[in-house]
Amino acid sequence: MARSIIAATIDYAQITENARAIISATNTPLMAVVKADAYGHGLVPSAHAAVAGGATWLGTAFLDEAIQLRDGGVTTPILAWLTPPTEEFMRALEFSIDLSISSLDQLGAILKASESVGRKARVHLKVDTGMTRAGALEEFPALVEAIAELLDEERIELVGTWSHLACADEPEHPLNQNQYERFLSALEYMNSSGIDPGIRHLANSGAIVHFPQFYFDMVRAGLLLYGYTPGFTSSDRLSVRPVMELSADVALVKRVPAGASVGYGATARLNDDRYIALIPLGYADGIPRRLDTPAWCEIGGKKFPLIGRVSMDQVTVDLGSDTEIAAGDRALFFGGDGSITADDWARAAGTISYEILARIGARVPRLAK
C-alpha cells in the first residue's frame, strides 16, 4: 500500500488507554464524547476504542452521528443532545438512542414520535445552569411537572438529568461553583416533585481535571479522551497522551535568493539566501491561516518555522541557509514524540486545541497507527 502524502495517523489503542486512565482517576462511569467525527479522529473507530477502554456511554451532538455509530456496530448506550423539535425522532427510537430535552416543544415532538412507533422514549433532561445554550431555564418547573405526569402514565423513561459547564477550564472562575449549586437545586426540586433524576452528569473534561465534587454518577470526557487537557493545563491525578499525529511529505526543496518574498501578499521577505520547503497541507486541511505567533513543524528530527501565509493546499517552511532536507522527507506538524503538539498550534493561532483537532479536513486520510 502506497504511503499517503498527507495523513492524520490515529493511535486508537491510546484512546482505549486514555479512557481507562479517566475511569481510574475518577472512579466514575464514563461517557466518551465522540461528536464531530470524534474531534476529527474518526467517529466509529474512536467509539469502539473508547468502549474497549471501559466507556459505558457515548455522546454525540447530532442524531445522525448516533445512527452512524449504530450502523458501525456500536451497541453501547448513546445520548444525542443537539436535537431540535424538527428532528425526525422516530429514527432515534428505532435505533435505541437517548435524547436530550430542554423544552416542552422538544418533549411534545418526542412523544409524538414515540406514539407513532409504539416505543417508549428514553430522555435526559438538560438544565441550563449558566451556560445559556441548550437546557431548560424558565420552562424547567413545567417540564418537571410534564415529565412527572408522563412517568406516572409510563409513557416515557427519564434516564438522566444533566447540565454543561461554561468555565471548567478556568478553575478559579466563580461561575463553576455557581453552576454546581444551580444543578444541585434542580436535582433537589426534582426529588421534591417525586421524580428520580436518574443518571446525574455534569462534569466535562475540565471538571474531570479540576472538580471531583462535580462527578456525580457519570463524567463526560471529550478532549481528555484524545489526549489533551482543556485550557493548556495539566493534572497530577490524570495522565493522558495525544492520539493524533498530523504529517505530510515534503513536496519540494529549493534555494531562494535574498530579497525574495514568500507566499500570498508577499508578507514575508528573505534577508539572505535561504532554503524553502513546500509541504502539501493548507487551510483546506485544517492548518490555521491566521497565526499570531510563529508555528513550527518537524522534519528529520529538527524544528523549522513556517514562513509566509498559509495557502489553501500548502505551506512553506524556512529550512535555513543550509539544509540536508530533501523532497520526500516527512514533515510532522504535531504528534509523534510530543515535541510539537496541537496545544502549540492552538497558541500560535490564538485558539484552542479542540479546534485544531476537529478542523482537520476531510481529504486528510485518517490512518490507524
Task: Tell me the three-class secondary structure of 309-365, residue by residue.
Answer: CCCCCCEEEEEECCCCCCCCCEEEEEECCCCECHHHHHHHHCCCHHHHHHCCCCCCC
Please give the pLDDT value at position 236: 75
Using an 8 Å Cβ cutoff, are 334 and 345 in contact? yes
**How high is the mean pLDDT in each 10-residue block of the chain (369 residues)?**
88 98 98 98 98 98 98 98 91 96 96 94 98 97 97 97 97 97 98 97 97 98 96 82 97 97 95 97 97 95 96 98 97 91 96 96 95
Catalytic residues: 35, 264
List the domains of the chain with CATH numbers.
Answer: 12-227 (3.20.20.10), 244-368 (2.40.37.10)
What pLDDT was estimated at residue 1?
58
Q: What is the pTM of this model?
A: 0.95
CB distance 334 to 277 below 8 Å: no
Query: By C-alpha distance, which of 26, 82, 12, 36 is closest to 358?
Result: 36
